[in-house]
Chain A
Amino acid sequence: MRLTRRYRFSASHRLNSNELTADENARLYGKCNNPYGHGHDYVLDVSVEGRVDASGQIVGRNALDELVQQRVLGHVDHRNLNCDLPELNSQVATTENLAFAIERMLARDWTLPARLARVRISETARNTFELETK
């Protein structure tokens, strides 16, 4: 069985690759390359997979919420992803790279009995990125 819990965070970012020239970045990323950055209300869906325990749950809601708050939301909510999130390792702050970063942040000290199964992030209601974890 799989349980999916939805979280929200608001953050700013700017898409800019150090491998490209200023003109190339402007062409590739368009408005997302504007120099001072911009922000989104991200939606993060965390899915866990496992067996239902004696309490009738795969995972305690409080335990999952605390873990996501400590490992992820506390580091990204009302932050600038380019400046404030070392986990991105200076990669471009695309939502693709952000999804991998959040997966690493969650998986590193995963203490719950249920397995981390999927990370899904919506940058806006129109763009969603989904990562099944191994």
Chain B
Amino acid sequence: MLLTRKAEFSASHVCRDPSLGDDENRALYGTNANPHGHGHNYVVEVTIEGDPDPVTGMVFDLRELKEIINAEVVDPMDHRFLNHEVPPFDQVVPTTENIAVEIWKRLHSRIDLPNAKLKNVRLYETADLYVDYGGEG
């Protein structure tokens, strides 16, 4: 069974590789490279795969899941400038792909029960663009 919990955070970012010039960054990242940054209302959907616990009837305690997502993702990222305030994005370009990988890294060790594992992180940058990441290399 799949269980999905949604959360939102609003953050600013800029996609620039400091080793590249303006033209190269513009070619790679388009308007995402504009130097002073811009923001999005990110939506993250965390999907867990597992079987309901025979006693509680739950795959994963939703209250605990909400607390984990808040502690690992929403609290550190909401209303922040990712490049300046949320490591590793001082070193790693905060593309949608890289933010999804970082969210996976923060969550997967905390969502790890014998009967329930983290299955997928879906991160919407806008309603028209999202990535799915399942921990693959």
Contact = CB atoms under 8 A, between A and B. Distances in A.
Interface of A: 1-7, 51-52, 55-58, 60-62
B23 interface: no
B130 A4 contact: yes
Contact of A56 (B95, B127, B137): B95
Contacts of A58: 97, 131
B30 A56 contact: no
Contact of B129 (A6, A51, A55, A62): A6
**Which of B17, B93, B95, B98 has the most C-beta atoms of chain A within 10 angstroms of its own C-beta?**
B95
Interface in B83-137: 92-98, 100-101, 127-134, 136-137
Given A5-B129, A52-B95, A56-B92, 16 more contacts: A1-B101, A1-B133, A3-B97, A4-B130, A4-B131, A4-B132, A7-B128, A51-B137, A52-B97, A55-B93, A55-B95, A57-B28, A57-B95, A60-B28, A62-B27, A62-B30
Contact of A3 (B17, B93, B129): B129
B129 A52 contact: no
The 6 closest A-B pairs by CB, nearest first: A6-B128, A56-B95, A56-B93, A2-B132, A56-B98, A3-B131
B90 to A, nearest CB: 14
Contacts of B129: 3-6, 61
Nearest to A65: B30
Interface of B: 15, 17, 27-30, 32, 92-98, 100-101, 127-134, 136-137
A7 B126 CA distance: 12
What does DSSP make chain B's interface, helix, strand, loop or mixed?
A: mixed
Of A5, A7, A58, A61, the most chain B CB neighbours within 10 A belong to A61
A4 B29 CA distance: 17
A4 B134 CA distance: 15
Contacts of A55: 17, 28-29, 93, 95
A5 B128 CA distance: 6
22 contacts: A1-B101, A1-B132, A1-B134, A1-B136, A3-B129, A3-B131, A3-B132, A4-B129, A5-B128, A51-B137, A52-B101, A55-B17, A55-B28, A55-B29, A56-B94, A56-B95, A56-B97, A60-B28, A60-B30, A61-B129, A62-B27, A62-B30
A16 to B, nearest CB: 33
